[in-house]
Amino acid sequence: MWKADNWKDYEILDTSSGEKLERWGDYLLVRPDPQVIWQTEKKNPGWRKKNGHYHRSSKGGGEWEFFNLPKEWQIHYQDLTFHLKPFSFKHTGLFPEQATNWDWFSHLIQNAHRPIKVLNLFAYTGGATLAAARAGAQVTHVDASKGMVTWAKENAIASGLGDAPIRWLVDDCVKFVEREIRRENTYDAIIMDPPSYGRGPKGEIWKIEDSIFPFLELTAQILSKDALFFLVNSYTTGLQPAVLSYLIHTSIVSRFGGSVEAEEIGLPVKDSGLILPCGASGRWQRKD
């Protein structure tokens, strides 16, 4: 398993009964987690001193309950800064487990010793975008939500990357890639974090199990001939690491060679010393 264990401003303190107790900077949040199927005694005092608790509804969705939690605050990862705020469906605007991937591709970019163009698809609030830009890449950030792109820009400014070579685009990712193919634009690296389910601009249904392979085949067409890496993330239970590996081998290795690794990604839990699984990632990189 790939662990995001270099955080100082974030940690999972404890897990039990379908929930996790997290420290986000100075604040404690309790949020549901479907992986936490065990029931253990909640000894950590943070369970009682929480600043926010997301209660999931049996009818779907849920709502936040707050205890002296600001509307917005910041945390840091190395020299990156992220604005956080609780919003719909338990999220805060950041997936801390992705830091293990940020570290991986930052090393590749820094050691490429050449300009690297990165495309970040389904780019959310820009964690991967900022990590790639900080490592020295030129980044195209694409997300269908204007609000998420605005949030990502704010994170860039807070991280001292307001003038970095980042192109911010509010666009449907599939349509954007199709246009890039027609324009014959290519990228040295592609990062994608596709949703499990969504709808396109004309009501097209995105269901990851049905859509991910055609989309990988599509994006492979805009990798440059000397592409550096490719990264795909999944939070969908059915897309296990071996499935991601098979997908990448089929769509990318068949064209470019190189090597593939795929693993669960996870976060350390302070009180137990164990690792909480948080999805899976598949990584391709060029062989020298």
CA–CA distance, 160 with 148 (Å, rounded to integer): 19
Residue-level pLDDT, tens digit, the chain, 288 residues: 999 999 999 999 999 999 999 999 999 999 999 999 999 999 999 999 999 999 988 877 899 999 999 999 999 999 999 999 998 789 999 999 999 999 999 999 999 999 999 999 999 999 999 999 999 999 999 999 999 999 999 999 999 999 999 999 999 999 999 999 999 999 999 999 987 767 666 666 667 777 889 999 999 999 999 999 999 999 876 689 999 999 999 999 989 999 999 999 999 999 999 999 999 999 999 986
**Structural domains in the chain (count):** 2
Q: Residue 118 and residue 100: Cα distance in Å, rounded?
A: 18
Copy the structure tokens of residue 135: 């490592």
Residue 235: the pLDDT is 83
Supply the CATH number for residue 17's domain.
2.60.40.1180
- Look at residues 28, 53, 84 and tell me which one is the last residue of a structural domain: 84
Is 178 in the same domain as 256? yes
C-alpha to C-alpha distance for 149 and 142, rounded to whole angstroms: 8
Q: Quick one: pLDDT at residue 128?
A: 98
Q: What is the span of the domain harbouring residue 155?
A: 96-285
Tell me, yes or no, whether 60 and 10 share the same domain. Answer: yes
134 burial (CB, 10 Å; 0-12 / 13-18 / 19+) is buried
| Element (DSSP H or E) covering residue 214 | helix 208-220
27 lies in the same domain as 75: yes
- Say yes or no: 106 and 39 in one domain: no
Give the Cβ contact number of residue 62 at 10 Å: 16
**233 and 197, same structural domain?**
yes
The answer to whether 43 and 50 are in contact (CB under 8 A) is no
* Distance, CA of 43 to CA of 260 (rounded, Å): 41
Instruction: Tell me the two tokens of residue 240.
Output: 């296990």
What 8-state DSSP symbol labels residue 249? I
Chain-centroid distance, C-alpha 95: 6
What pLDDT is attached to residue 259?
96
Whether 171 and 214 map to the same domain: the answer is yes
Domain match, 34 and 124 both:
no
149 with 256, same domain? yes
How many CB atoms are located within 10 Å of the residue 186 CB? Answer: 17
Q: Is the domain of 231 the same as that of 187?
A: yes
- SS3 annotation, 169-208: EECCHHHHHHHHHHHCCCECEEEECCCCEEECCCCCEEEH
Q: What distance, in Å, lies between the first and last C-alpha atoms of the chain?
A: 25
124 and 146 co-located in one domain: yes
Measure the CA dihedral 163/167/171/174, to 10°.
-140
Same domain, 146 and 264: yes
41 lies in a domain? yes
Question: Within this chain, do residues 48 and 112 fall inside the same structural domain, yes or no?
Answer: no
Q: Where does a domain end: 15, 50, 84? A: 84
How far is it, in rounded angstroms, from Cα 250 to Cα 272? Answer: 39
- The answer to whether 31 and 90 have CB atoms below 8 angstroms apart is yes
Domain boundary among 49, 84, 119: 84
